[in-house]
Structure 1
Amino acid sequence: MPHTDPSRSPDPGALARIEASLTGPGAPFAVVRAEHGPFVYSNGPRTLREFAETTWAFGEQPFLISGERVCSYGEFFAAASSLARRLAESYGLRPGDRAVVAMRNHPEWQVAFWAAQLAGLVAVPLNTWWTEGEFAYALDDCEPKVLLVDADQLPKLEGWGRKAGARFVVFGGGGEAPGGGELPAGAERYADLPEADPYAAPPEVEIRPEDDATIIYTSGTTGRPKGAVATHLAQAGAALNPRYQAAVSALGRGVVPGQGPAPVTLMTFPFFHVAAFTSLYAAMAVGATLVLMPKWDADEALRLIRRHGVTHYAGVPATALQLLSAADRAGDGLESLKGLNTGGAAAPPDLVARLTARHGERIEPRNGYGLTETSGGVLANFGAAYRAHPDSVGTPTPVTEIRIAGPAGEELPEGEAGELWLRGQSLVRGYWRDEGATAEAFTGGWFRTGDVAVVRGGRVSVVDRIKDVVIRGGENVYCVEVESVLHGHPDVEDAAVLGVPHPVLGEEVAAVVRVGPGSAVTADELRAHVGRSLAAFKVPAHVLVTREPLPRNVTGKILKRELRGAVQEHAGESGGRGLTDG
């Protein structure tokens, strides 16, 4: 079973007693070993449909607030049920068919996603920052039968949809497609659908725990997106994980879980990001309210916190730091805030120090660790433990096992650094239609994260990454993907992409590019070249152009550690502008 962290309480045995009271037989988070498999929660939902159906009981409690719009749980469930019936009965979709969800953080995103779950479809949330080409690759891979999109995303998707003969439901944007064109054949506006019947049930379909629930795209060392497939049982485990962590936190502070008014959370994660699901599940389980932001703005976040009495913040560390700075400038004491939750990227150790220095221990800090392949957060660090160990990502949930593995997969003793392996209920079953990538990432039921970690006193600290990835403000940028695009420029002979530290984003993307003799290509032109193929967050902020060979080892691999110092120095000098060397 996972280790505990006695630093959360002055009594070394207190946390052990709390965990035992929560996970023992008959307890709310009772844990059993699945046959020939990982630990699983023995109570609670087994499918996402079961989880969603419980939210109907919250009735008129506000669920989603977006601008002046307030959507209650009752309205949400009626709308999701109505759309699910249309997908199943009018569109003829069957369990297992894929349904793409591509839209900004509108309330309708949740209606679309949960309609897919109520109909037994496999929901495929896609990154709205992607280009048309990036969308096309994922669509070719998952072959959806229906695309649930907002009007802003339609231009990037309708070309594929026309060729594939897929159906569309378009949310917002009036009666025409953007630019004045007609909607694609087989498309209908969500606004034109019949009004939802608040008493109508979801369609009668059989959904089993082992059925696929979601495909969420990530990227690997090949640079191509891979669809991580989670079953309903895995997502049900992901839904219980944050509830368990919240219960441990409450009991550790001497508070009975579930008492008091429902939380109000400012949601700044994009819904397509797996980190958003952790906050979403935590909110839906207790009838909490999510306050949405169409675009991040720290000053607007302060206004929303004041207006709606926000009790919890959820976002990447970069936006959390900006929120604290904006509050300092405005003299805003964040009086309603009780929790500051960050995820999606490594939190700088001084984040919790800044929070404590300004607000004492009134606002509980929380960070953790999770991946697309874990369906959200599976380790958490909060409260006194976080303040005492700000470089840690915390301890695992009771259905998550950890192993620090050596080169041959052997388990290393505590205190030694090795690759972090994970096993548990919420892990995905593999990658969509990619047996090779699945076999490479999973060993005997254990997922190899590619992160180097160390365990001390039961707490996990991630110290490095094996995978060649830059995490920019919570978004993964896989270096080989950017390198591949750079290599496509006719003047480029070699390229290396790496991350450089950034005080707010955590890391920023940088590139060293070797060009051919006589080339006059500039750094800005190379950045524009990348931007034509990849999303803006993947475009290198710093480009060092050189005519010198890039350092490589005897096997031909670029020695990026030998480039890092020069790139960081030039990044500091350029302030984001590209530089040319020689």
Structure 2
Amino acid sequence: MDRRLTLVPAPALGPAVLTDVWPAVRAALDGGAPLSVVPADPGPAARARAVLRPDLPLEDGADLVVLTSGSTGDGRGVLLPAAALRASATATLDRLGGPGGWLLALPVSAVAGLQVLVRSALAGAPPAVLAPGERLADALPRVPGDRRYAALVPTQLRRLLDTEPGALRALDAVLVGGAATDPALLARARAEGVGVVTTYGMSETAGGCVYDGVPLDGVGVRVADRGVELTGPQLALGYRLDPAATAEAFVDGWFRTRDAGTLVGGRLQVHGRLDDVLVSGGVNVAPQAVEAALREHPAVDDAVVAGRPDPEWGHRVVAAVVPSPGAEPQLADLRPWVAERLGAPAAPKELLLVDAVPVLHTGKPDRRSVTRLFEGA
């Protein structure tokens, strides 16, 4: 009998996550109906349906299907068996010091938020949900258990360090991932006494599988010509209805991430997506490095960098910047700041000031939206 995929709309963070999504995820982990948690907004929901095709039979072995961020298209459906999600969650809890209660502050349509539900299921208690606009300090009393954990993206960590550092310190561990985390932000968090742990992973690895550069138990890491490659019991089966992409990415039990990285003393250092590298004036420019340099400027609170086609330079580096409170950063000031640190080709040639950086439903920077912002401007 064909198994069919059920699409479960993910409401905005709030009580409905626990009433609508939490029971369905727990049932899928226990062998119930396979599902995919998808954004509830009509546009993203329609794109998810087009990619996931719930009208067609589901591939054997898959229990949950996670839609990737779609940073280079409409995304792919990643086929995850319950065993992979459980292996990832178990290794995470072992690394953090044992089961505990979780604070959910990320969308459950992305693997990072979904894994908070999985880890909570292993711990035997639903997470506390941080509602939009709610203070972290007000949500903490609802986190169950003696140990308390949370998962955040770097932008959330930065904002909470500005507003509620004491509440962050009350957590036993704060996982930070989904995008590159600036060393300066990590240093600040640790200086504030926050138990921050950087995570590296993706939907294809059932979430983070390398913590503070060190693989979780059972995870293998190697760096090849194609970039960082990962193996272990947390790996996905492949991509929904895309055998060609599956064969290209999953080879002999290893997943090819397409991330640039190096192994130094057994620790993995990730330098960004190979696909994201911009070529400006014949020089490779990593957007993540430019973003990190911009955030070090006192007038910049946050930044996201993209490339626009340029007949002379190949790529024109452009930056959307969130000003620091009371500041008004100028391109004339930011260009030499970046050039001094990364070289002239990395210096942005265009600047837009924005209230917040555009992000995908996963919390990752949305570089395509940045490009469209500049085209509109």
- Measured in 1, the distance between the counterparts of 2:318 and 2:102 equals 42
Q: Which among 347, 367, 376 is matched to residue 181 of structure 2? A: 347
1:570 maps onto 2:366 in alignment? no
Q: Report the equivalent of 1:218.
A: 68
Relative to structure 1, the CA distance from residue 99 to residue 469 in structure 2 (aligned partners, 3 Å threshold; closer, same or farther) is farther
Give TM-score scaled by structure 2 length.
0.70
Work out whether 1:318 is the aligned partner of 2:155. yes
1:135 counterpart (32, 39, 45):
45
1:490 is matched with none
Matched, 1:550 2:310: yes
In 1, distance between residues paired with 2:191 and 2:210?
25
For residue 135 of structure 1, what is the amino acid of its counterpart? A
Query: Retained in 1: the 8 A contact 2:305–2:317?
Result: no
Aligned residue in 1 for 2:86: 236
What's 1:438 paired with? 246
What's the counterpart of residue 104 of structure 2? 267
Is the alpha carbon distance of 1:450 and 1:566 closer, same or farther for their aligned partners in structure 2, counting shifts above 3 Å?
closer
Give the corresponding residue for 1:125.
37
Rounded to whole Å, the distance in 1 between the matches of 2:208 and 2:192 is 27
Q: Given that residues 95 and 122 in structure 1 are in contact (C-alpha distance below 8 angstroms), is that contact kept between their aligned partners in structure 2?
A: no
The structural deviation recorded for 1:371 is: 0.4
The alpha carbon displacement at 1:458 in A equals: 0.7
Instruction: Quote the residue 1:302 is aligned against.
Output: 137
Specify whether residues 561 and 121 from structure 1 end up closer, same or farther in structure 2 by C-alpha distance, changes over 3 A only: same
Q: 1:569 to 1:136 in 2, by over 3 A?
A: same
1:422 counterpart (219, 230, 235): 230
One-letter amino acid of the structure 1 residue matched with residue 3 of structure 2: G
Is the Cα contact below 8 Å between 2:136 and 2:167 reproduced in 1?
Answer: no
Percent of residue pairs bearing the same amino acid type = 27
The 2-side partners of 1:507 and 1:226 are apart by 27
- 8 A Cα contact 1:221 1:467, kept in partner: no
Aligned ranges 1:508-547 → 2 under 5 Å: 508=304, 510=306, 512=308
* Alpha-carbon offset, residue 449 of structure 1: 0.3
1:76-133 per-residue CA deviation (whole Å, 9 max, x = no partner) reads xxxxxxxxxxxxxxxxxx772211111223212111233344463221111335x53x
| CA–CA distance in structure 2, aligned partners of residues 340 and 273 of structure 1 | 18
Return closer, same or farther for 1:425/1:506 CA change in 2, 3 Å cut-off: farther
Letter matched to residue 351 of structure 1: L
Rounded to whole Å, the distance in 1 between the matches of 2:271 and 2:307 is 23
Aligned pairs for 1:33-112 (under 5 A) are 96-104=3-11, 105=13, 106-107=17-18, 108-112=20-24
Work out which of the residue numbers 392, 398, 416 in structure 1 matches 2:217.
Answer: 398
Distance in 2 separating the partners of 1:95 and 1:118? 19
For 1:344 and 1:434, locate their aligned partners in 2 and report how far apart those are by CA, in whole Å.
24
**C-alpha distance 236-312 of structure 1, shift in aligned 2 (>3 A):** closer
Change (3 A) 1:454 1:212: same
Q: Tell me the amino acid that sits aligned with residue 190 of structure 2.
A: T
Structure 1 counterpart of 2:138, which letter? R
CA distance in structure 2 between the partners assigned to 1:327 and 1:138 by the alignment: 35
CA, structure 1 residues 551+566, in 2 after alignment: closer, same or farther (shift >3 Å)?
Answer: farther
Give the SS at the match of 2:197. Answer: strand
Whole-angstrom distance in 2 between the partners of 1:236 and 1:550: 47
Partner of 1:366: 197
SS of equivalent to 1:345:
coil
- CA distance in 2 between counterparts of 1:443 and 1:229 reads 15
Task: Establish whether residue 276 from structure 1 lines up as the match of residue 113 from structure 2.
Answer: yes
| 1:345 and 1:506 in contact (8 A); partners too | no
Q: Distance in 1 between matches of 2:355 and 2:202?
A: 31
Q: Do the aligned partners of 1:451 and 1:465 also contact (CA within 8 Å) in 2? A: yes
Cα distance in structure 2, aligned partners of 1:117 and 1:307: 24
CA contact (8 A) 2:39 2:109 kept: yes
Deviation at 1:579, TM superposition (A): 6.4
SS of 1:402's partner is strand
Aligned to 1:559: 314
8 Å CA contact 1:375–1:427 kept in 2: the answer is yes
Verify the 8 A CA contact 1:95 1:119 in the aligned structure 2: no
Unaligned runs of 5+ in 2: 279-286, 320-344, 357-369
SS class of match (1:560): strand
Inter-partner Cα distance in structure 2 for 1:420 and 1:334 = 31
Matched residues, number: 313
Contact 2:33 2:63 in 1 (8 A): yes
Change (3 A) 1:581 1:563: same
Structure 1 gaps, min length 5: 1-93, 146-163, 165-209, 251-256, 382-393, 408-418, 471-497, 513-548, 553-557
Q: Using the alignment, how far apart are the partners of 1:448 and 1:357 within structure 2? A: 35
The alpha-carbon deviation at position 304 of structure 1 amounts to: 2.1
Q: What's the C-alpha RMSD, in Å, of the aligned pairs?
A: 3.7
Q: What is the CA–CA distance in structure 1 between the aligned matches of 2:159 and 2:236, rounded to whole Å? A: 33
Cα deviation for residue 440 of structure 1 reads 2.0
SS of aligned partner of 1:126: strand
Q: Distance between the aligned counterparts of 1:579 and 1:239, measured in 2?
A: 40
Deviation at 1:355, TM superposition (A): 2.1
Could you say which residue in structure 2 is the equivalent of 1:380? Answer: 211
Q: Per-residue deviation at 1:405?
A: 0.3
Rg (Cα) greater in structure? 1
Partner-residue secondary structure (3-state), 2:63:
strand
Equivalent residue letter for 1:379: V
Q: Distance in 1 between matches of 2:48 and 2:352?
A: 36
2:327 match:
none
Which residue of 1 is the match for residue 330 of structure 2? none
Q: Which amino acid aligns with 1:570?
A: E
Residues 197, 211 of structure 2: 8 Å contact kept: yes
Q: Is the 8 A contact 2:29 2:82 kept in 1?
A: no
Residue 172 of structure 2 corresponds to residue 338 of structure 1: yes
1:570 shift after superposition: 2.7
Q: Kindly indicate whether the alpha-carbon contact (under 8 Å) linking 1:551 and 1:562 is maintained by their aligned counterparts in 2.
A: no
TM-score by length of 1: 0.47
Partners of 2:29 and 2:142 lie apart in 1 by 33
Which deviations, in whole Å up to 9, do the C-alpha atoms of 1:444-487 show, x marking residues without a partner? 222110100001111101013112399xxxxxxxxxxxxxxxxx
Q: How many Å separate the matches in 1 of 2:64 and 2:139?
A: 31
